[in-house]
Amino acid sequence: MDEKRKLCFDWGISDYYGWGIYGFNLLLHGQMSNTFQIFPLQSTDFLYPLDPLAYKFITEQLPQPNTRVELKSHDIFLTSLGNSNQINIENKFRNIGVIFNETNPLPHDEINRLKNFEFVISGSTWNSLALEQSGIKTQTVIQGIDLELFRRAQKRYLKDKFVIFSGGKLEYRKGQDLVIKAFSRFAKKHKDVVLLTAWRSPWEQKIAQTVNQSNVCEPLIPSDDMGESISQWISRNGINLDQVICLPPTPNRLMPEVFREVDLAVFPNRCEAGTNLVAMEALAYGITCLISKNTGHLDLIKDQNCFPLSDQKSIHGQGKSDWGESSVEEVEALMEECYQGKIKINPSKARESMLNHSWESAINSMLTLL
């Protein structure tokens, strides 16, 4: 039997942020490959214990500390990439990038750096087209979801409430300011509505205050206690905190327990380089979703699987070509129609639209490319 080729990747392995979840599934499903031996270069960082079998398969693949991995010409090194990268290309083995970048178009020096890779794997059709227009050889691999984990269940705690969910790390690009503005109006008319947020991230001290760029809301004032800062921000924008539940950092494995309480999920994101993992999981769960019709979200929006936010104003600014500004009025109107029961997405339709996007399928697609 031929020796397995080595595949190294340089991003985290975790259960509470996007790249980490990607790394976890690449390691878990990749180690089952008959082609590659997987070597992650970063340690694990889990908020919640793994099940014993996942722990076994993960730890068996983790190299010992200070292990030196020798790569040969047919081995592969995957580099995580974003909007700005410092790249050191080694030609002794195959160098391939994995990218989620919202900046469009990229600066010329960044484009030239990316051309040094054999090719770059991007997370959405939109991202791939933007890169290819700059002459970068690109392949598309859409992220996966755990279809066994994200399955519909009955409400447990908030049966008498209409619960609106907003998820994703707090920043201008994700559009939580638009959610706050729409919900502040909507909640004044209905005392039985609740906003449930999952906005916390490891990078919040650096990026959360970018939400102030829009001037849609009263500004967020960051502090050492970002949970308190977020609560104060919501309150300053006219929302009664009795109508809000702000979650702490939450492991991916527990998100189904959150989703079971949700009636409507709102994703008015201004740009997604990938397809928005949280939105994919909400769809797989069968939740009625409002999803902005722009950038990477276009891969998610299918016939009758969600309500697209179609009123998209162009955003002007360097690197923001194709970004879209969702209409607060449209978001509020759809909140109202969903609350009144006038419109609803069939949960089976939403879930069916995600059935081809398991993590196993996504990782196998990547390994096939490699």
pLDDT in tens, 317-350: 999 999 999 999 999 999 999 999 999 999 999 9
Q: Same CATH fold, 162-352 and 5-146+357-369?
A: yes
The rounded distance, in Å, linking the Cα atoms of 227 and 37 is: 40
The rounded distance, in Å, linking the Cα atoms of 267 and 309 is: 9
Cα-Cα-Cα-Cα torsion 247, 253, 256, 257, nearest 10 degrees, comes to: -60
Alpha helices in the chain (DSSP H): 18-30, 52-61, 108-114, 125-132, 176-187, 204-207, 226-236, 255-259, 277-285, 328-340, 347-352, 359-369
Tell me, what's the pLDDT at 33? Answer: 81
The rounded distance, in Å, linking the Cα atoms of 14 and 23 is: 7
Q: Which of 68-77, 87-96, 204-213 has the highest mean pLDDT?
A: 204-213
Q: Is the pLDDT of residue 11 over 80?
A: yes
Q: Is the pLDDT of residue 35 over 90?
A: no
CATH architecture of the domain with residue range 162-352: 3-Layer(aba) Sandwich (3.40)
Structure token pair of residue 124:
């959405």
Q: What is the pLDDT of residues 303-315, one digit of tens each?
A: 999 999 999 999 9
For residue 2, name the pLDDT band (cuts at 50, 70, 90).
low
Task: Spell out the domain ranges in the chain.
Answer: 5-146+357-369, 162-352
Mean pLDDT of the chain: 95
CATH architecture of the domain with residue range 5-146+357-369: 3-Layer(aba) Sandwich (3.40)
Q: Is the pLDDT of residue 59 over 90?
A: no
Q: What is the pLDDT of residues 270-304, one digit of tens each?
A: 999 999 999 999 999 999 999 999 999 999 999 99
Q: Are strands 44-45 and 76-81 parallel, antiparallel or unpaired?
A: unpaired
| Residue 261 DSSP symbol | T
Q: Which amino acid is at 364?
A: N
Structure token pair of residue 303:
């016939």
